[in-house]
Chain A
Amino acid sequence: MHWLGAAQRGSPALIRFIVWVALRVSRTVARALLYPIVTYFVIFSVRPRRASRAYLARVLGRTPSIRDVFRHYHTFAAALLDRVYFLTGRHRDMTLSIHGNEPVLALVRRGRGVVLLGSHLGSFEALRAAGASEPDLDISMLMDNANAQKMMRILTPLDPALADSIISLGAPDSLLRAKARIDAGGLVGLLGDRLRPGDRAVPCPFLGATMWFPAAPFVFAALVGAPVVLCYGLYRGDRRYDLHFELLRERIELPRAGRDEAIAALAREYAARLEHHARAAPYNWFNFYDTWAEPARGEAR
């Protein structure tokens, strides 16, 4: 979310103002404010706009118009605004249509911890909000250090318990923390569509070209012996979200011989399901950089 980061650095006052309007005035007024803001970013954010066009051309199969780009930015901004409501638990007015969650709940009721493997397609916050309405679900979220710090700064004053559910990836014992949550029957969410520096990368076909996905989510799930459930919190406009859960594997086995092939097969399956949902909800792609760029040598192992 480089451009958002830039916006925050440029004008934290603007962000604070929007959040204030969202919580104190109304969602309708806050959403009206998104139009000038999105217009500003569509005009002035050059690289994200280029990335948006390149993605839209692939997913729509045609040359995107400026309206498509505006809609892409606007969908992102609207979902981002709604995070304020999801995070503060003020989402009773939202319509969350949930598909396929029964197998997940069945696993959790049997005491099994679950890896929730999401992506930047749609809003993970909507998924978490749906989980929060189920009693006794313990959902944590693994995220890279910078995002974790940012989230904790926002969440701690709102709800210290929620801040405690963020696990930063920046420490040697990060995944041991995540494993402890899984062992206790919790759900641990992570996003599987972005490479972090040093990640082992797997090339997969995605929307007609090769994109590199991290191997780490599958290795993690194999090591902790947890089922992997793919999940998507797709924003459908107005107050509607479609939440999809799909069981990828009840248990991942990585044999010593053929381990790389097994990981590659899982990553390709992940990429194929992501492509399916991206085609169904194209404007929900919340990556505004060149996701198809090949990882720099030495970065990927």
Chain B
Amino acid sequence: MTAKTPFEVELSGLMVEVLNLEIAPEEIAPEAPLYGEGLGLDSIDMLEISLAIGKRYGVDLRADDEDSRMVFASLRSLARHVDEHRPK
């Protein structure tokens, strides 16, 4: 497992803050599944984190993207998607 990029670190901080997770941001492994097994987030958590990402980075995460399930697979895939789509 590789170390987190600075943006992944930032995003894990946002997740812990928005979802009131009882773990430290460092404990979120970049490639572990976010949903279900793994970090144990549910559909409500995913919605909440999507809305927070929209607010902070201006990236509208939509369900009609064919690959939205891929985007939500891990912190790494989420960070990559948000980083690629946010207005620079």
Q: Is B one of A's binding partners? A: yes
List B27-71 residues whose CB lies under 8 Å from chain A: 34-36, 40-44, 46-48, 50-51, 61-64, 68-69
Q: Is A93 an interface residue (CB 8 A)?
A: no
- Do residues A173 and B51 form an inter-chain contact, with CB atoms below 8 A? no
B39 to chain A, nearest CB (A): 11
Residues of the B chain whose Cβ atoms lie less than 8 Å from the Cβ of A169: 43
Residues of the A chain whose Cβ atoms lie less than 8 Å from the Cβ of B43: 169, 171-175
Q: Is A57 an interface residue (CB 8 A)?
A: no
Interface residues on A, range: 10 to 19
Residues of the B chain whose Cβ atoms lie less than 8 Å from the Cβ of A176: 46-47, 50, 61-63, 68
**B residues engaging A (CB < 8 A)?**
34-36, 40-44, 46-48, 50-51, 61-64, 68-69, 72
List A157-190 residues whose CB lies under 8 Å from chain B: 169, 171-177, 179-180
Residues of the A chain whose Cβ atoms lie less than 8 Å from the Cβ of B46: 172-173, 175-176
A157 to chain B, nearest CB (A): 25
Secondary structure of the B side of the interface? mixed
Beta-carbon contacts of A202-222 to B below 8 Å, as 1s and 0s?
A: 000000000000001001100
Q: Is A198 an interface residue (CB 8 A)?
A: yes
CA of A119 to CA of B72 in the docked complex: distance in angstroms?
A: 30
- Do residues A175 and B44 form an inter-chain contact, with CB atoms below 8 A? yes
Known: A171-B35, A176-B46. 11 other contacts (CB 8 A): A171-B69, A173-B69, A174-B43, A175-B44, A175-B46, A176-B47, A176-B68, A198-B40, A219-B48, A220-B47, A223-B47
